[in-house]
């Protein structure tokens, strides 16, 4: 079983929307059975799944004390991919999930506030010896800050080449438990999700366990650059 964790200390980065879309796309593309876990106390992913008519992907309820045991149970039951949505924090529960991850995806909106917040998340992932990838989410097409975000993030870690743009279709589809892949007339958004899954699938299939690293000093120039630009 491969474990993909979406993590970010910044609230509103789009972790829940991406988690649901990636789980559905992976199932559609034959990577299943796919299961999801929501450890965010707000429970937005669980709420989305509860109004979803389709049976797949599966949703699994768990708690911090039983997390490792529940993951072993899912492996024994033949789950091929587990996608985990996390709260906007770096507490013990998030660290416990990241320890189980094969890959950690860090969604980031193209804004100074989002970019300033990712340093601590990256440090945690690196300290735990896990591979990471940045996802630029809810970007404005042809905006200068989107281009600057691509340039900045690519200097500090792998970046998904498919940018997820701000589209009303993403919010509209989640209202009744669907995704843009299941929403008529949402082909541009669906194509972006497909490209995102293509990249993450490739990374999951080639990911190797990385050694535990000390706190990452390379992020200091990024923080200084953001402070300088405001």
Q: What is the mean pLDDT of residues 125-147?
A: 94
Q: What is the pLDDT of residues 172-203, one digit of tens each?
A: 999 999 999 999 999 999 999 999 999 999 99
Long-range contacts of 202-208 (CB under 8 A, 24+ apart): 203/103, 203/131, 203/133, 203/158, 204/2, 204/4, 204/81, 204/102, 204/103, 207/102, 207/103, 207/131, 208/131
Whether cis (ω within 30° of 0) applies to the bond prior to 33 is: yes
Containing structural domain, residue 218: 2-229
Domains held by the chain: number: 1
Dmax (CA) of the chain: 51
Q: What is the pTM of this model?
A: 0.88
Q: What is the mean pLDDT of residues 62-67?
A: 84
Provide the mean pLDDT of the chain: 88
What CATH number is associated with residue 16?
3.40.50.300
Specify the DSSP element, H or E, that contains 2: strand 2-6
The pLDDT of residue 198 is: 97
The pLDDT of residue 216 is: 35
The pLDDT of residue 155 is: 83
């Amino acid at each position: 079983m491969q474990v993909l964790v979406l993590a970010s200390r910044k609230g509103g980065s789009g972790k829940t929307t991406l988690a649901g879309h990636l789980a559905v796309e992976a199932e559609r593309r034959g990577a299943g059975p796919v299961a999801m876990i929501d450890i965010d106390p707000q429970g937005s992913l669980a709420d989305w799944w509860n109004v979803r008519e389709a049976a797949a992907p599966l949703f699994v309820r768990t708690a911090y004390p039983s997390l490792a045991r529940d993951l072993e149970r899912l492996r024994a039951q033949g789950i091929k991919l587990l996608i985990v949505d996390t709260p906007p924090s770096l507490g013990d529960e998030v660290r416990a999930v990241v320890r189980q991850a094969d890959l950690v995806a860090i969604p980031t909106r193209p804004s100074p506030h989002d970019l300033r917040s990712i340093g601590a998340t990256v440090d945690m992932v690196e300290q735990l010896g896990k591979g990471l990838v940045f996802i630029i989410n809810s970007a404005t097409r042809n905006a200068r800050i989107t281009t600057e975000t691509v340039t900045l993030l690519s200097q500090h870690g792998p970046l998904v080449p498919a940018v997820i743009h701000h589209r009303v279709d993403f919010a509209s589809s989640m209202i009744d438990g669907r995704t843009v892949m299941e929403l008529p007339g949402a082909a541009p958004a669906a194509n972006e999700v497909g490209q995102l899954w293509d990249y993450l699938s490739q990374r999951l299939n080639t990911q190797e366990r990385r050694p535990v690293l000390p706190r990452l000093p390379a992020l200091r120039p990024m923080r200084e650059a953001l402070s300088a630009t405001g």
